[in-house]
Structures are given as C-alpha cells and as structure tokens.
Amino acid sequence: MKGNPLLRLAIVLLVLVAVLWPVCRLTLHRAIPLAVMPVSIYTETNASSTPDAAVTSPLLSSEKRPTLRATLLLHAAPSPQHCLITQAGRKLLTEKDQISPGEYRTAIEITKGEDLLVSADWGDEEPHALRLEVLVHGYQAPLEKSFWGQKTVEDTIPIPESFLP
C-alpha cells in the first residue's frame, strides 16, 4: 500500500477500534455462570432468609433456574471408600447416605440444566463399577448412567432443561 504513513496508521487504528468493540462486549460483559458462583448466593434458603439477597446477587432473579424433586440412587461394586455427588458446588450425596453395602440413596432438589458430578475412590487398583439413577418425581423413566474405573471414578451426568415443571 502506497501513500502517506500517517494515513495508513489512521486506517489501521480505525480497523482495530472496529474489531475491539465486539471483542470487548463478548469478553468483559459476560455474566458469571451459576456453577462458578458461591452456593450460598443462589440457594433458595439464603434468598428467602436474607432481606438483602438482591444486593448480594443481582443475577439471582434473572438467572434463577427451576428445580426438580428427585431421588438419587447410587449402586457401587464394591463399596467405595469415598463417594460424592455434587451439583454446582452443592453436596447431594455422600458415603453417609449408605442404605446397604454398595447402595446409597437420598431425596434432593436438583437444578434443571446443571450437570451432576459423580466421584468415588477405592483403596485398590481393581476394576470398579458405579451406576447412578436419578428418579425425578412425576416421571416414569429414570436418568441413569454407568461408570467404570480402577482406583477413582469422576464423571458427569447431564440434567436436561427439557423436563417439564
């Protein structure tokens, strides 16, 4: 490109500013996802017990997701030393919810559209299996997934947003 160097500099700066505007809108004005927010900010008990919940969390009213009443059933062979199921930082099931050797159950509220994180560990290197069933109250077919691993298992099971309220 021939011409005045100052004119070329002005054109390059104009193009950079034109590109900078959409990039800044995409990167700087993003909302904090619920999975990153502390649990106490978006739990219903905290929102109803503190009068200034709207001050501490402006995203609470705009991004509050509906919940479903469900029962989690975890079957393990053999029983793990530690097991944990969480959703967005909330502990839903631990080894304290054991009902018999290798079986765990709890009734909880789960959030639509948020994955459940399943983790378990054993003390040996033998093959191990887990099966998680999510029985959503009011639905006949459960969500279920099997997990396989040796010393540890860590995986997710998605909870679809398409469940009716």
What CA–CA distances, in Å, run from 120 to 78, 95, 108, 138?
11, 9, 19, 29
What CA–CA distances, in Å, run from 68 to 1, 35, 63, 110, 133?
63, 17, 16, 5, 15
Last residue within a domain, chosen from 16, 44, 60: 60
69 and 125 fall within a common domain = yes
Q: Is residue 149 part of a domain?
A: yes
Token code pair at residue 70: 């469900």
27 and 47 fall within a common domain = yes
Q: Which domain holds residue 36?
A: 5-60
102 and 43 fall within a common domain = no
Average pLDDT rounded to a whole number, residues 6-29: 84
54 and 95 fall within a common domain = no
Cβ–Cβ < 8 Å for 56, 40: no
pLDDT at position 72 is 92
Residue type, 59: L
- Of the ranges 39-43, 52-56, 134-138, the best mean pLDDT one: 134-138
Q: What is the pLDDT of residues 103-123, one digit of tens each?
A: 999 999 998 888 999 999 998
Q: What is the pLDDT of residues 59-90, one digit of tens each?
A: 433 357 788 889 999 999 888 899 999 998 89
37 and 113 fall within a common domain = no
Q: Is residue 162 part of a domain?
A: no
CA distance 60 to 164: 21
Q: Is the pLDDT of residue 40 over 60?
A: no
85 and 113 fall within a common domain = yes
Q: Is residue 15 part of a domain?
A: yes
Q: Is residue 148 part of a domain?
A: yes
Q: Is residue 164 part of a domain?
A: no
54 and 91 fall within a common domain = no
Q: Is residue 165 part of a domain?
A: no
pLDDT at position 51 is 42
Q: How many domains does the chain have?
A: 2
Q: Is residue 163 part of a domain?
A: no
Last residue within a domain, chosen from 37, 60, 83: 60
The mean of the pLDDT values for the chain is 78
73 and 144 fall within a common domain = yes
36 and 94 fall within a common domain = no
Q: Is residue 95 part of a domain?
A: yes
Q: What is the pLDDT of residues 138-161, one digit of tens each?
A: 887 888 999 998 899 999 998 888
